[in-house]
Structure 1
């Protein structure tokens, strides 16, 4: 049997708000309740299970590999919502996208400060190819 990621828990101040944000921005199906979680199913059958917490939330990074057409759709929703976005993980290049490995990538934050990324080529798949 191959080892595959099945799910991970994502801390949120309001699991419904955060799960709905992710599903909407990525163009996925609405989140569904599962026990104490709101689960967002990705196209590779991995779920991100959002769970309410009153503890301090440590920012995590989640990167999503998408097609060129999906990138355009998601990036359009980011701009439509007038969200901040960056070309780099250190947020030093605001309002830009990157072109690493011959693809495109962009970073943005969710309502709880988790750092999200969409990219069209896996890192290392086409040489560095610029920023």
Structure 2
């Protein structure tokens, strides 16, 4: 069997609010709870299992999306008044990036309610 990522734990102050936030941006749904986790399942069946934690360092999560999904997610970010950035240092506010290494790749960064740095990006060529 090939090695695959099955799930990862996402620390959150309020797991349901955090899972709902990301699911809405990505056009996904929040799955029913599994034990004390609030899961969001991605297209490749990997789950993000949100778990309540009081103190943690923010993490970075990147999501590959199609061109159409990127446009839809960016529109939801903009419509929601969520600040987004063209760089991971969050200095280029209100921008997206266009990769020179991967022709046609676009992406942007935004923070979730827990200050995790979320990134959406397209495959490019």
- State the TM-score, normalized to the length of structure 2: 0.94
Tell me the number of residue pairs that the alignment of Structure 1 and Structure 2 aligns.
Answer: 122
Query: 2:120: which partner in 1?
Result: 118
Q: Deviations over 1:18-47 (max 9, x none)?
A: 011111111002232000100000000000
Secondary structure of 1:2's aligned partner: coil
Secondary structure of 1:23's aligned partner: helix
Output the aligned Cα RMSD: 1.1
- State the TM-score, normalized to the length of structure 1: 0.89
Which 4+ residue blocks in structure 1 deviate beyond 2 angstroms? Answer: none
Query: 2:28: which partner in 1?
Result: 28
Quick check: 1:7–1:48 contact (8 Å CA) kept in 2?
Answer: yes
1 CA distance for matches of 2:120 and 2:53? 26
The offset of 1:57, in angstroms, is 2.1
The offset of 1:91, in angstroms, is 1.1
Secondary structure of 1:34's aligned partner: coil
Secondary structure of 1:82's aligned partner: coil
Structure 2: unaligned runs, 5 residues or longer: none
1:95 aligns with 2:84: no
Quick check: 1:19–1:31 contact (8 Å CA) kept in 2?
Answer: no
Quick check: 2:97–2:107 contact (8 Å CA) kept in 1?
Answer: yes
